[in-house]
Amino acid sequence: MPVEFRDYYATLGVAREATDDDIKRAYRKLARRYHPDVAKDKKNSEEKFKEINEANEVLSDPVKRKRYDELGAHWQDEGPGHPPPGWDGAGAREPHGGQAREFHFTGTGFSDFFEQFFGGGSRYGFGSGEHEFGAEGRAAGRRGADIEAEILVTLDEAMHGTMRALSLQAFDPRTGQAETHSFQVRIPAGAMEGRRIRVPGKGEPGDGGAPAGDLYLQVRFAAHPDFRARGADLYHDVDLAPWEAVLGTTVVAPSFEGAIKVRVPPATQQGAQMRVRGHGLPKGRSGERGDLYVVTNIQMPEQLSEKEKRLWEELSRTSQFKPPEHS
Amino acid sequence: MNDADQNESAALPRFEPTDEGVYSIETVVQITRTPRHQIAVYCRHGIIAPVIAPEREGWWFDHEAIRELRRIESLRVDYGLSVEGLRVVAELFREVERLREEVRTLRRS
């Protein structure tokens, strides 16, 4: 099934030798520009935002990035859509040695290219082992296997809930038949990362009249330029100048309710977290919410003017401070 | 979504997650076609866990348990694993999922 190659490096505007930091920075800058909440051209930015997220999913993960680089190196050799030899695609594998049936998804938030080569670590079905026995006692049919796939959800979608249109194409290499199922799945508000949403009957078809297995969609959060999620809690990193950490300051942090002012107390240490209660993600249906943590990251100046240098030198002479581990 | 998309979406079958549902053991037997005694064995060995509902008597199971049960039962039927073997495998599945989660979180930091 020919699929178009995606140039993730070009999408993020980074070189192939880009470091993890380069990629993180490039992602944040672009994600902020095309974020659906702030972008001016909302319709077109949505597509672009998805591309950026997908490129980041692959390039920020060392294992995926390595695979991607290898894939890219061999892409022209075999012709478009053909993976290099020895490549294990993301089709479903039948555990009993039967020929693998391929499943292709659209609408999971990933492109066809991603789905085919990087889609979900657990894209396999387990035969359900449910044998239907006829009057003679022989197995009359077997329920189809369950399939697990990942669905990429933005934090905003997790915050408010969303309805996603999915298309599932099952391709049986034995018969050459392809069957497409289109349907919508609601991702509820408060859906947490790792949560499985069951779509009954959309798994592998059953044998001999037995029912089909189920499709399980596992929620994965797309990286967000401003937040990291852990359960229902959100983490936002802020950079501070050394004097801001020492003397204290007020910082502005983003939240789903708009910008909030957070007080950084004097003598704040590296990595200190300020908790803002109730500004995290929803915790299920109860209306309760997790917390937002503002994490401080003290940055050191790299360039100093002569005057600044003198002030720092005076400080080093005047101060009684000795770091804890100093001998 | 613009109007055209809305109309098309309205025609597609919709699936809403039913997250609060718990099922009685009788229903689970029917859904998964696993004999009752087999489910009891799995519970006794800690392979799957019922949802404890103090106000209701008997065993109740949620979606996760049903999914687990299907996976484990299929391994038993297809590979003939003993109950002890199944318990080890179930533990490994959980550990792998937990590790995946942790790796993902760590990568994001």
Q: What is the pTM of this model?
A: 0.75
Q: How far apart are CA A206 and CA A212, in angstroms?
A: 5
Q: How far apart are CA A253 and CA A255, in angstroms?
A: 7
Superfamily of segment(s) A88-129+142-223:
Urease metallochaperone UreE, N-terminal domain (2.60.260.20)
Q: What is the pLDDT, as a whole number, of residue A199?
A: 86
Exposed e or buried b for every residue in A270-307, given b needs 16+ CB within 10 A? Answer: eebebebeebbbbeeeeeebbbbbbbbebeeeeeeeee
Radius of gyration of chain B (CA): 19
Q: How confident is the model at residue B10 (pLDDT cuts 50, 70, 90)?
A: low
Q: What is the pLDDT, as a whole number, of residue A66?
A: 92
The residues, any chain, with a CB within 8 Å of residue A171's CB and separated by 6 or more, are A1, A101, A102, A103, A104, A177, A178
Q: How far apart are CA A169 and CA A181, in angstroms?
A: 6
List strands edge to edge, sheet with A102-106.
A102-106, A162-172, A177-187, B14-15
Indicate the CATH number for domain A1-86: 1.10.287.110
> CATH number of A228-318: 2.130.10.10, 3.40.640.10, 2.60.260.20, 3.40.50.150?
2.60.260.20
Nearest to B32 by CA among A146, A136, A125, A95: A146
Q: Do A183 and B9 touch (CB under 8 A)?
A: no
Task: Tell whether A95 is within 8 A of chain B (Cβ).
Answer: yes
| Domain assignments of chain B as residue spans, ordered by start | 19-108
Q: How far apart are CA A321 and CA B10, in angstroms?
A: 67
Q: How far apart are CA A140 and CA A126, in angstroms?
A: 19
Task: Tell whether B74 is within 8 A of chain A (Cβ).
Answer: yes
- Report the greatest alpha carbon distance in chain B: 56
Rounded (10°) angle between helices A42-59 and A62-78 = 100
Q: What is the pLDDT, as a whole number, of residue A119?
A: 67
Q: Do B101 and A194 touch (CB under 8 A)?
A: yes
DSSP designation for A187: E
Nearest to A227 by CA among A237, A219, A218, A217: A237
Task: Tell whether B100 is within 8 A of chain A (Cβ).
Answer: yes
3-class SS string, A83-144: CCCCCCCCCCCCCCCCCCCEEEEECCCCCHHHHHHCCCCCCCEECCCCEEECCCCCEEEECC
Nearest to A91 by CA among A199, A22, A3: A3
CB atoms within 10 A of CB A127: 24
- Of B13, B34, B71, nearest to A183 by CB-CB distance is B13
- Of A60, A184, A197, nearest to B14 by CB-CB distance is A184
The residues, any chain, with a CB within 8 Å of residue A90's CB and separated by 6 or more, are A115, A116, A117, A118, A119, A120, A123
Q: What is the pLDDT, as a whole number, of residue B106?
A: 78
CB atoms within 10 A of CB A133: 10
Tokens of B80: 């003939």
| Domain assignments of chain A as residue spans, ordered by start | 1-86, 88-129+142-223, 228-318
CB atoms within 10 A of CB A177: 9
Task: Tell whether B104 is within 8 A of chain A (Cβ).
Answer: yes
Residue pointed to by tokens 């209306």: A287
Q: Quick one: closest CA in A to B108, which residue?
A: A228
Q: Quick one: closest CA in B to A127, which residue?
A: B74
Same-fold call for A88-129+142-223 versus A228-318: yes
Residues of chain A with pLDDT below 70 are 1-2, 37, 76-103, 119-141, 173, 326-327
Q: How far apart are CA A143 and CA A173, in angstroms?
A: 19
3-state secondary structure of B6: helix
> CATH number of B19-108: 1.10.1660.10, 2.130.10.10, 3.30.365.10, 1.10.3720.10?
1.10.1660.10
Nearest to A281 by CA among A151, A155, A150, A154: A155
More confident residue, B6 or A257: A257
Residues of chain B in contact with residue A131, where contact means CB-CB under 8 angstroms, are 77
Q: What is the pLDDT, as a whole number, of residue A135?
A: 43
Q: What is the pLDDT, as a whole number, of residue A268?
A: 95
Q: Quick one: closest CA in B to A97, which residue?
A: B78
- B47-86 pLDDT, tens digit each: 998 887 656 677 889 888 888 898 888 888 888 899 999 9
Q: What is the pLDDT, as a whole number, of residue A284?
A: 72
Q: Do B107 and A61 touch (CB under 8 A)?
A: yes
Mutate to test the interface with A, among B8, B12, B97 (most CBs of A within 10 A): B12
Query: How many angstroms away from the CA of B2 is the closest CA of chain A?
Result: 9
